[in-house]
């Protein structure tokens, strides 16, 4: 799953090397040195009883997006590293995130991954309670000597989505639906808008967030996603990009109902492959993929090899940590220009903002 044209080899080699190189120095920018020696094994030797715990964000396994990508990395650790794995999902409002982490740590799981920036406070707290356990957190920086931050350049991948959308749009009108108006989701909007406007300066872009910052129900509200996208299509948009987790299903439904020439852009996973409804698969022009699966796997592999926390790894375009899916062959006619933009970002010629 998720092994497409831009994927795994470069990310696995480079990111894994980064993690292991930093661990050899005793930690990284988040608090290395002697403090980092409070980690899992202390010997650097690969363990033979690897037990990996993963706590999902709201929506849990089966969201066809962010959580499922993390689960793919967990499954890969089970298959390739012979790890015993366990995953847990929070209650609807996410109020028991800390309890999930403690449950996994108390049961002997090490390392433990919190999926999503909403775990930041809980990971910081629980990691102090269990200094001999290694923690990873997706979409947040390291907060301690036994915590590794796994972050992604969503704005860079979204820039490419904006380029593709602007080139494919017939109406010159696009839409963006964000699940929660947080700093993280604003990164998606910022990159998408910049890519589209750099490609066609006069293009129109409507943006809508489903819930305010701190209200994570926006990631699990397909009805709200559908309503927001319906309004954009009615107002003239022909392509809508979502960064809304499970709510993106509603965006797909709105695009399918809007008729010929209307498209949606998925997020996190290659959603044309993960969404089961064939009618919805057909209207997914592309997806902005975050290789959360590889980030999770490389973190687990590094811990098995003796790596400690105290560092944050950023999975950007240079590491192939983000990119566009090609399922359906809908963007092949603009792929050359997308690839050109990608190389300009990697070289530094294009600077992508991370705020709208």
Distance CA 304, CA 41 (A): 9
Task: Decide if 44 contacts 64 (C-beta within 8 A).
Answer: no
Residue with tokens 């799981």: 109
Distance CA 189, CA 207 (A): 8
Q: What are phi and psi of 275, to 5 degrees?
A: -75, 130
CATH among 3.40.50.150, 1.10.540.10, 3.40.50.2300, 3.20.20.100 for 10-153+292-315:
3.40.50.2300
Q: Is 31 left (phi over 0), alpha (psi -120 to 50) or beta?
A: left
34 pLDDT exceeds 90?
A: no
Q: Cα–Cα distances in Å, from 133 out to 15, 99, 164, 309? A: 21, 16, 43, 10
Considering the chain, tell me which residue range(s) the CATH 3.40.50.2300 domain(s) occupy.
10-153+292-315, 154-290+322-346
- According to CATH, the topology of domain 154-290+322-346 is Rossmann fold (3.40.50)
Distance CA 35, CA 39 (A): 9
Mean pLDDT across the chain: 88
Task: Decide if 177 contacts 210 (C-beta within 8 A).
Answer: yes
- Percent of the chain topping pLDDT 70: 87
38 band by pLDDT with thresholds 50, 70 and 90: very low
Q: Count CB neighbours of 311 within 10 A.
A: 25
Q: Is 180 left (phi over 0), alpha (psi -120 to 50) or beta?
A: beta
Q: What is the CA radius of gyration of the chain?
A: 20
Task: Decide if 228 contacts 197 (C-beta within 8 A).
Answer: no
Specify the pTM: 0.79
Length of the chain in residues, anyone?
356
23 pLDDT exceeds 90?
A: no
Q: What are phi and psi of 277, to 5 degrees?
A: -70, 115
pLDDT, mean of residues 171-191:
97
Asked which of 14-28, 56-70, 71-85, 196-210 is least confident by mean pLDDT, the reply is 14-28
Distance CA 348, CA 154 (A): 16
Nearest CA-CA partner of 184 in 88, 74, 125, 267: 267
Task: Give helix then strand counts, H and E, for the chain.
Answer: 12, 12
E strands within 213-310?
Answer: 239-243, 263-268, 284-290
Beta bridge partner(s), residue 267: 288
Greater pLDDT, 43 or 188: 188
According to DSSP, residue 240 is labeled: E
Q: Encoding tokens for residue 30? A: 């988040």
**Which pLDDT does position 66 carry in this prediction?**
83
pLDDT, mean of residues 21-37:
32
Reduce the DSSP state of residue 193 to 3 states and report it: helix
Task: Decide if 32 contacts 26 (C-beta within 8 A).
Answer: yes
**Which pLDDT does position 92 carry in this prediction?**
87
């Amino acid at each position: 799953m998720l092994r497409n044209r831009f994927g795994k080899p470069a990310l696995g080699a480079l990111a894994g090397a980064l993690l292991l190189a930093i661990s050899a120095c005793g930690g990284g920018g988040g608090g290395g040195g002697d403090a980092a020696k409070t980690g899992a094994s202390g010997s650097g030797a690969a363990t033979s009883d690897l037990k990996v715990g993963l706590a999902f964000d709201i929506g849990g396994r089966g969201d066809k997006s962010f959580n499922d990508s993390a689960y793919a990395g967990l499954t890969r650790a089970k298959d390739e590293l012979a790890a015993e794995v366990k995953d847990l999902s929070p209650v609807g409002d996410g109020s028991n995130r800390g309890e999930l982490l403690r449950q996994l740590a108390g049961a002997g799981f090490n390392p433990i991954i919190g999926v999503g920036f909403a775990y930041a406070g809980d990971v910081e707290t629980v990691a102090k309670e269990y200094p001999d356990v290694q923690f990873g957190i997706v979409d947040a920086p390291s907060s301690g000597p036994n915590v590794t931050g796994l972050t992604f350049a969503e704005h860079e991948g979204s820039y490419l989505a904006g380029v593709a959308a602007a080139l494919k749009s017939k109406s010159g009108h696009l839409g963006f639906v964000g699940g929660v108006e947080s700093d993280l989701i604003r990164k998606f909007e910022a990159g998408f808008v910049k890519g589209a406007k750099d490609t066609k300066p006069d293009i129109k872009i409507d943006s809508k967030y489903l819930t305010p910052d701190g209200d994570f129900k926006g990631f699990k509200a397909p009805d709200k996603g559908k309503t927001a996208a319906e309004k954009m299509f009615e107002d003239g948009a022909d392509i809508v990009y979502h960064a809304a987790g499970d709510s993106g299903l509603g965006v797909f439904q709105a695009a399918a109902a809007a008729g010929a020439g209307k498209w949606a852009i998925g997020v996190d996973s290659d959603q044309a492959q993960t969404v089961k409804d064939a009618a919805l698969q057909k209207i997914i022009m592309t997806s902005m993929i975050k290789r959360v699966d590889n980030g999770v796997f490389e973190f687990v592999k590094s811990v098995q090899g003796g790596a400690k926390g105290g560092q944050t790894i950023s999975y950007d375009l240079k590491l192939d940590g983000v990119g566009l899916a090609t399922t359906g062959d809908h963007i092949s006619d603009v792929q050359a220009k997308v690839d050109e933009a990608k190389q300009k970002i990697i070289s530094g010629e294009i600077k992508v903002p991370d705020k709208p």
